Amino acid sequence: AQSVTQPDIHITVSEGASLELRCNYSYGATPYLFWYVQSPGQGLQLLLKYFSGDTLVQGIKGFEAEFKRSQSSFNLRKPSVHWSDAAEYFCAVGSPNDYKLSFGAGTTVTVRA
């Protein structure tokens, strides 16, 4: 069975500082990996995804993530956060043979001025 762990429940970062959100997954084969952002009153929005190929994935809003098979990780990064990046972030894992996604518990990001 596939599962996802997001070790950080809450992260506070200063505007303009860099951000890294951790994600570790458990899956027997090569997973499909996703990062979503959830803002209040809005649905989850896909930031980026990894299926295969280049392990450094670029997404929307200046985010990137790196797939590290040896560490079973897919950490999300942004070099310089904006106040609008304050939101809930979810990592998810899926597989080529199934449409189900397994989500982590989420990380809440607070941005201080």
32: left (phi over 0), alpha (psi -120 to 50) or beta: beta
Quote the least distance from Cβ 16 to other proteins, whole Å: 27
Shortest approach of other proteins to residue 61 CB, angstroms? Answer: 13
At residue 62, the 3 state secondary structure works out as helix
Give least dist CB 12 to other proteins, A. Answer: 16
Choice from 36, 63, 74, 89 touching other proteins (CB under 8 A): 36
Q: Segment near other proteins (CB under 8 A), from 15-23, 46-54, 70-78, 79-87?
A: 46-54
Residue in the structure block whose two tokens are 């295969």: 52
Q: b or e along 85-103 (b: 16 or more beta carbons within 10 Å of the residue's beta carbon)?
A: bbbbbbbbbbbeeeeeebe
* Residue ranges in contact with other proteins by CB under 8 A: 4, 9, 32, 36, 41-46, 49, 51, 90, 94-101, 103-106
